Amino acid sequence: MIWGTTFVAVKNVSSQIDPFLLSILRNGIAVFALLPIIVLTKNSGKLKNKKSIKDGAILGLILSTIYVVQTIGLQFTTSTHSAFITCSAVIMVPLMLVLFGHQKLTAKQLISVIIVGCGMYLLTNSNAKTPFNKGDFITFIGAIICAIQIISAGYYVRKNEFLGLIFYQFLFACLFSVVGLGINLLINQQGLHFEKEAISGVIYLGILGTLFCFFVTVWAQKYVSTVYTAMIFSLEPVFASISSYIYNGEVFSKYEVYGAIGILIGLIIYNIQSKKIEVV
């Protein structure tokens, strides 16, 4: 539910803050909130692991890219479009694994991809008020990067101590965003864009949308199977749509509803048999 609402939060602050600065603050808040927890639980030694630093840097680069691309995309599209397109990253994972020869595409996965593709077409091309636009395209690029993040995180988390890995992921995501902000300011030669109205949204995204959600996800998977976890995540765009309607008055057209339902059906079909999939 919280991750679903972050699409609305990002949408509402996207015009009030530079995308790179939002990523800096979002990850920076997570770092400063996590560090006391690590110290108080006497886990400081886990931060000295060189492999966690290296792998965390890779994940941090990917994470910062996702945040920046998603924020830019939301400047030109609706939060509901962004949520459903981003959620399609779940389907892109097996396609990438097939592309790199790590697994074969099953019949159910192929059906899921086709259904999601049809759903995305209906969602983004059926309404004259919100037709397919560059924001949807940018968000689609972000979904591809999300799929890379899912695969990379699944690989690195099995080879590292989680607490150190996630700390360095947030830290390097913040640092890479600082570099990106500097380059962006030099190229565009414009002042730093930040409005005080964005403060509450930034705090929400940093504490709940970033730090809290990452920890709850890992904790919950100790007790909930991968299949059910993935199916629950399929509800993320549903909550995004509900919160978008409540806060921003966004309403689906008839064909957008069909498209959204199609994407959810495709995700559920994929998730039902995802227990057999080994991400390597």
pLDDT band for 130, please (50, 70, 90 cuts).
Answer: low
| Residue 13 belongs to a domain | yes
Over 90: is that where the pLDDT of 173 sits?
A: yes
% of residues, the chain, pLDDT over 90: 20
The full 3-state SS of 45-79, as one line of letters, equals HHHHCHHHHHHHHHHHHHHHHHHHHHHHHHCCCCH
Q: What is the pLDDT of residue 20?
A: 93
- Nearest Cα residue to 25 out of 56, 58, 68: 68
pLDDT band for 276, please (50, 70, 90 cuts).
Answer: very low
pLDDT band for 250, please (50, 70, 90 cuts).
Answer: confident
| Residue 266 belongs to a domain | no
Average pLDDT score, the chain: 82
230 vs 154: which has the higher pLDDT: 154
| Residue 113 belongs to a domain | no
Over 80: is that where the pLDDT of 69 sits?
A: yes
Over residues 152-176, the mean pLDDT reads 86
pLDDT band for 174, please (50, 70, 90 cuts).
Answer: very high
| Residue 85 belongs to a domain | yes
| Residue 125 belongs to a domain | no
Over residues 149-176, the mean pLDDT reads 85
| Residue 144 belongs to a domain | yes
Q: Residues 35, 167: contact at Cβ < 8 Å?
A: yes
Domain of residue 166 covers: 2-89+131-251
| Residue 111 belongs to a domain | no
Domain count, the chain: 1
Length of the chain, please?
280
| Residue 265 belongs to a domain | no
pLDDT band for 129, please (50, 70, 90 cuts).
Answer: low
Over 90: is that where the pLDDT of 113 sits?
A: no
Q: What is the pLDDT of residue 158?
A: 78
Q: Is the pTM higher than 0.85? A: no
